[in-house]
């Protein structure tokens, strides 16, 4: 399981695309996993035959665990498909003798290729992975070299001398030790082959046990079926309750929302507006040849209206730096769009949305929505947002009090657009009406500024020609 960085220590295997006996080639996608950020596909960095799938679908696996082994042929031992990217050693020179290649540990990727998750780069590192016990050796695997010899091989491959004194521990255990302030060199290992376990770290931190439940990564869960997308969990006959494990994107979202709700002081304001002219403009744009093939809908014009409102009130586009006790004004807008997916709520954002033309914004919105529905949104697409739009109207909801995406200053909820009786030019007529709700961080945005932003968005949607005159 690759080390995807950003503090993530585990991932759930959603689907295997190969089975034991299948032939695989370098770069072929072999499985899909879900981290706390997104679902991503893992490529195989080898040519060979699948020897074993170590975990079934639905299993949550720690970073650093071997999830698949591949027979490279010629009696070579099985090798993992995705070792930790930050700790993978470069390949030995082409002239290296065959016995050295056969004695490489499960953590060493051949040919110098370092597999990573989609959307991540390769982190260069001189860290060397220690040999681990091979639980399922290939039938023709040669005898394992002594630990000292293997350490020397790893040191040669990395271009560094072996560091024999470095304690053996998996990335999640190292993170736990760091969080608890435990020096791993002082911990007595009880795991196989001298590997330090979570229990060893907890025992070493016995004077402060209260910190363990808050900082320890979640343990590997027992194998279970992956839930079917967009389908309710079936209840067993006669069951009065059904328990659903909280993990992956939904688990991360829950933690983020709790942190946001109890960190940023929320204020929400509402305005109901006649958007009949905006709806007419949407129809005109759909027929415009310059917008042919693009996704044109009310959300597109709401997004443009919010961007214009931010341009008129730039102080709203900011973040709060708690450590420095500073307000950070952003001179760019990464516009988040909240998207409901089978795996939970995600908020990818359009980078530099403020600099895009209307056709470019329509293209970016279309790609963002399609990618989210397919579950292919990358973690990078969900980072760095400044403000967000959530369209609750698609569910027939009139309005709501949205919670801020962590680190952002404001979020705009757009309610359902409905025909309602409305006073227009002194007469009651059926008009397209919607309710907008703007939640904002009151540390950054006071009532006056928040009201101006919301009023500007409403004014543009009421008379969309202001998109031109105010721009």
Q: Do residues 46 and 24 touch, judged by C-beta distance below 8 A?
A: yes
* Token reading at 337: 């769009």
CB 36 within 8 A of CB 16: no
Is the separation of the CB atoms in 304 and 357 below 8 Å? Answer: no
Rounded alpha-carbon distances, angstroms, from residue 156 to 106, 143, 324: 16, 20, 44
The residues that are catalytic are 442
Determine the 3-state secondary structure of 20 from DSSP: coil
**Exposure b/e, 161-176, CB count within 10 A at least 16 = b:** ebeeeebbbbbbbbbb
The counts of H helices and E strands in the chain are 11, 21
390, 414 contact by CB (below 8 A) = yes
Measured distance CA(452)–CA(309) in Å, rounded: 8
Give the span between the Cα atoms of 182 and 275, in whole angstroms.
60
| C-alpha–C-alpha distance, residues 262 and 161, integer Å | 49
- Distance between CA atoms of 304 and 196, rounded to whole angstroms? 54
Rounded Cα gap, residues 273 and 347, in angstroms: 26
Question: What are 158-163's contacts with CB under 8 Å, separation 24+?
Answer: 158/89, 158/90, 158/126, 158/128, 159/90, 159/126, 160/126, 160/128, 162/128, 163/128
CA 461 from centroid of its chain's CA atoms: 33
DSSP 3-state percent helix, strand, coil across the chain (nearest 5): 30, 20, 50
């Amino acid at each position: 399981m690759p080390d995807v960085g950003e503090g993530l220590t585990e991932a759930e295997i959603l689907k295997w695309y190969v089975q034991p006996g299948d032939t695989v080639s370098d770069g072929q996608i072999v499985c899909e996993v879900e981290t706390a950020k997104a679902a991503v596909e893992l490529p195989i960095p080898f040519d060979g035959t699948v020897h074993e799938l170590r975990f079934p679908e639905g299993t949550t696996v720690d970073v650093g665990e071997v999830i698949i082994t591949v027979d490279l042929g010629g009696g070579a031992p099985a090798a993992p498909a995705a070792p930790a990217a930050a700790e993978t050693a470069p390949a030995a020179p082409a002239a290296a003798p065959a016995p050295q290649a056969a004695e490489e540990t499960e953590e060493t990727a051949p040919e110098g290729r370092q597999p990573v998750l989609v959307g991540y780069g390769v982190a260069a590192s001189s860290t060397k992975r220690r040999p681990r016990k091979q639980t399922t050796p290939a039938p023709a695997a040669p005898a394992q070299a002594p630990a000292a010899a293997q350490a020397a091989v790893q040191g040669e491959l990395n271009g560094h001398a072996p560091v024999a004194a470095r304690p053996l521990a998996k990335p999640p255990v190292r993170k736990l030790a760091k969080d608890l302030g435990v020096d791993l060199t002082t911990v007595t290992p009880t795991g196989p082959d001298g590997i330090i376990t979570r229990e060893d770290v907890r025992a070493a931190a016995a004077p402060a046990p209260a910190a363990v439940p808050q900082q320890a990564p979640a343990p590997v869960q027992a194998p279970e079926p992956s839930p079917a997308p967009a389908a309710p969990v079936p209840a067993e006959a006669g069951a009065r309750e059904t328990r659903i494990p909280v993990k992956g994107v939904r688990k991360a979202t829950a933690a983020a929302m709790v942190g946001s709700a109890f960190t940023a002081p929320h204020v929400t304001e509402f305005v109901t507006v006649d958007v009949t002219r905006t709806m007419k403009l949407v129809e005109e744009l759909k027929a415009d040849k310059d917008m042919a093939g693009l996704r044109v809908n009310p959300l597109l014009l709401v997004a443009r209206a919010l961007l214009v409102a931010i341009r008129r009130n730039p102080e709203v586009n900011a973040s709060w730096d708690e450590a420095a006790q500073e307000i950070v004004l952003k001179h760019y807008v990464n516009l988040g769009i909240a998207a409901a997916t089978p795996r939970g709520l995600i908020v990818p954002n359009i980078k530099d949305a403020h600099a895009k033309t209307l056709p470019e914004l329509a293209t970016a919105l279309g790609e963002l929505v399609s990618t989210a529905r397919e579950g292919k949104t990358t973690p990078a697409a969900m980072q760095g947002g400044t403000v967000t739009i959530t369209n609750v109207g698609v569910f027939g909801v009139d309005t709501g009090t949205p919670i801020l995406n962590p680190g952002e200053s404001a979020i705009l909820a757009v309610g359902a657009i409905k025909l309602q009786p409305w006073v227009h030019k002194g007469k009651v007529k059926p008009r397209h009406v919607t309710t907008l709700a703007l939640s904002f961080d009151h540390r950054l945005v006071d009532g006056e500024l928040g009201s101006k932003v919301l009023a500007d968005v409403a004014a543009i949607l009421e008379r969309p020609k202001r998109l031109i005159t105010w721009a």
